[in-house]
Structure 1
């Protein structure tokens, strides 16, 4: 069998499938491997050290599977592990030319195109919000934008347990949005800084004033990856192009398959990975 060199797409669970869907739709020619670390999810409330440890283990697995490029389609992993992996781990690996990319910088690079008031709300897990990564990256790109953050710790459990369409979910969706708007009424743009949140984007929009734009990351990350590969022909030429997709989960594969289609938009068949 001819060796494949896919693009790896990683998330702590299901959420990264919303980003992977956009990537696969925009760049269908490449081979892909998706891994959800559902067995150790959620990452949102874990320490920097633990998130780095888990993420690095998964990145090393992708490399063993032949992936020269891995996208961390997970805001918590991007916030808590990406910089350390890029700066400290990759240079000491057997093939330091391999690359790991995240979702925070691509989003920060374009968020200024959406806001007129220069006040942006960021909704995310506690881990992402407490890391301050979005404040730092957006400030680097657009010093004139004021970032207002809001942690939404209940949203991911609601989504992962299939309770996001319940009346109870509406209470918690409205609760966090009201807190954000109360402390920063100037906001005209809200960024969904968690890949799970597009699943409830319609509910989020329904509890916000009509003048506020709600920005999801999938298409932004897909565009950024396309531009990255155009700029880095040395990486693009390493990737194989057979339009294949493989899915893995560190938890039960049947359970993963049952939930994944809601995030990916089509049926998914995964394999269990012991890591």
Structure 2
């Protein structure tokens, strides 16, 4: 699970190679040695926050950038946990509660159908694209076509992806469709959750596959780009107010704030395509 602290000011650094400096400037924790511990909380603890959020890793950078503005304008503190959608769904099924959930649209639709979200509270926030990254300064293989992606994956010594995340679920199906499932999985570094780019930055894998927005959160890697349109993996991230929210109006206010037209650029800078 990924958490971060909420008292951050100043402008986010847009360059992945300067990610560590950006983290220090905003008071954010740096990546730890384990891929599953690469993100922390926007507030120090849920009890100290006025608004609790369970969020996919995909919108982490945008939420980190916008949270201080919302806190300043409203006086509310935000406690956000970031993890793959499937992990968050499991935690909610086990009884964990929050005010707001930001997940894949499929998960939000499922929660809404089960009556676990307040009617009419869904807001589509962003579309995300799966990409590939290498260690900073490493040769940049071609991923401009499906054939090029296939060659690059087969030539790589190792490939990191997350089985629990939306990108990992997509990638597992993609390599099956490309007919290279066995070859890729024989050298894959599959993590349960977390940022695959962290493994590449540490030299533990040659390629990282994940949402571009999640790759952008990792210093020390170079992003090759999105997968080509013919095999692109596109995920829409949506938010919804949980039926058991302690702060439902504050949760609605945060969703409206995030989806304000003035914040489209912030989502774009985080590697996302605004959906509002």
TM-score under structure 1 normalisation? 0.33
More strand by share: 2
Give the helix-richer structure, 1 or 2.
Answer: 1
TM-score by length of 2: 0.33
